[in-house]
Structure 1
Amino acid sequence: MNAEWSSSVVERARLHAALGEPARLAIVDRLLLGDVSPGELGAELGLSSNLLAHHLKLLEHAGLIDRSRSEGDHRRIYLRLRAEALTRLVPTGQRQAPRVVFVCTHNSARSQLAAALWKRRSRVPAACAGTQPASRVHPRTVTTAKAHGLSLARARTYHIEEVLRPDDLLVAVCDTAHESLTANEHLATADRLHWSVPDPAPLDTDAAFTGALRELTDRVDRLAPAVHHPGDPR
């Protein structure tokens, strides 16, 4: 047998080795659905900080996860999955929700785009809202949506308190909204996920908004197969 394996075989073996431990596989399963801070992840999975740091180091070394600094609280670090390394690992049946609500700070860009994408991808109803809604949807959000076959011409902004219903799955698509929801005693217990998608509004360019749409498309495509309406046959 040839002792010099191909680079693809070596790479696949390295990924399998990194995932060949229950805690690390559970970490990847969680990150498939949304970003999370190390502290939040340790609390969810019941892992001590030392053990979690060990597993994260191995997953990071294998190229399976990245770290990013919060745009809101700059002291926070969020973990995100490098989904391209796991193209065959698709989440299924991991959430039940009668509706998905996408939330960002101003409800003028990311949450609007995410809800529009979701409605095209899933039969589960969707809505969007903001923690500090702007007076209108950002004009470049509307033009970006139109350029990609989505209609936001009649969209308006809402406060999360106007929209939220019991049993909604909340998806915070910005760091600041996620941190605001976490600090809100009423909303902290809601079923929530977090996507750390950079805000395109400060740059206010077509490229920035198209980039946000591209990332949201990828994340919606990953989450949609995992969310089922409670009334749907399984």
Structure 2
Amino acid sequence: MNTEWQAEIERRATLHAVLSDPGRLAVVELLSLGDHSPSELSAELGMASNLVAHHVGVLVDHGLVSRRRSEGDRRRTYLHLTANAAMVPSGWTMPRPRRVLFVCTANSARSHLAAALWHRASPITATSAGTHPATAVAAGALAAAARHDLPLPNVKPRPFNDVRRDDDLVVTVCDNAHEEMGTVADVHWSVPDPVPAADDAAFDAAFEEIARRVEDLAPRIAHA
């Protein structure tokens, strides 16, 4: 038997054993839809905070979940699934909305890229807005879209309250926006802001992370 193949089988068996606990599987299922802070997980799952901390610790130790410090409230940490968690088929879907609204603070980069990527992945309409919109879309976002052959509509940043409809699925792609909006957001993706770095690598990293999340969520809504 090939040694590498055997090692991979043993690794996957260990991960399945970790996920045999209903509490840990529930955490992974919830994170498959979006990022959560530990306190948000506790509230969503109706689970004591110390038990959430235990389950999260086990999942982090086994490489299924990672932590990311909030860019807004630096005391807060967001949890998200790693590539290893792709081995876990998720049965969760979301009700089909009339439109998906992507939100970040300035509506100058991440939210525009997310809406454009959504247009490419799903027949459901998408748009974007900001909690404190900038005056223009960031040049780095325009350049990243061009590098990835992604059509980006020629629109200006717009305020969230002017764009939002009651039946939108609201997805925040910015920690500051998520923390400002609270429960108004339906899903949160903790994507680092590429604008301060102002280099191609930062914008490409944001593009790739958003693209991966869009490709995961879009079919789950379309089949709901």
Same fold (TM over 0.5): yes
Structure in which a larger fraction of residues adopt helix? 2
Q: Structure 1: how far apart are the matches of 2:157 and 2:109?
A: 10
Q: Structure 2: how far apart are the matches of 1:149 and 1:87?
A: 30
Structure 1 alignment gaps of length 5 or more? 183-187
Task: Say if 1:37 and 1:76, in contact at 8 Å, map to a contact too.
Answer: yes
SS at match of 1:198: coil
| 2:219 is the counterpart of 1:225 | yes
Among candidates 202, 206, 216, match of residue 208 of structure 1 = 202
SS at match of 1:102: strand
Residue-pair matches, total: 220
Deviates more, 1:144-153 or 1:206-215: 144-153
Other-structure match for 2:86: 86
Give CA deviations for 1:153-176 in whole Å, capped at 9, x if unaligned. 512111100111012111100100
Q: Which AA in structure 1 matches 2:56?
A: L
1:173-184 aligned within 5 A: 173-182=173-182
With normalisation by structure 1, the TM-score equals 0.89
Cα distance, 1:45 vs structure 2: 0.4
Structure 2 alignment gaps of length 5 or more? none
SS at match of 2:124: coil
Task: Say if 1:102 and 1:173, in contact at 8 Å, map to a contact too.
Answer: yes
Deviates more, 1:148-157 or 1:114-123: 148-157
| 2:11 is the counterpart of 1:11 | yes
Q: Which AA in structure 2 matches 1:133?
A: P
With normalisation by structure 2, the TM-score equals 0.92
Q: Which AA in structure 2 matches 1:85?
A: A
SS at match of 1:170: strand
Q: Structure 1: how far apart are the matches of 2:64 and 2:129?
A: 31
Percent identity between the aligned chains? Answer: 49
Q: Structure 2: how far apart are the matches of 1:124 and 1:9?
A: 39
Deviates more, 1:12-21 or 1:102-111: 12-21
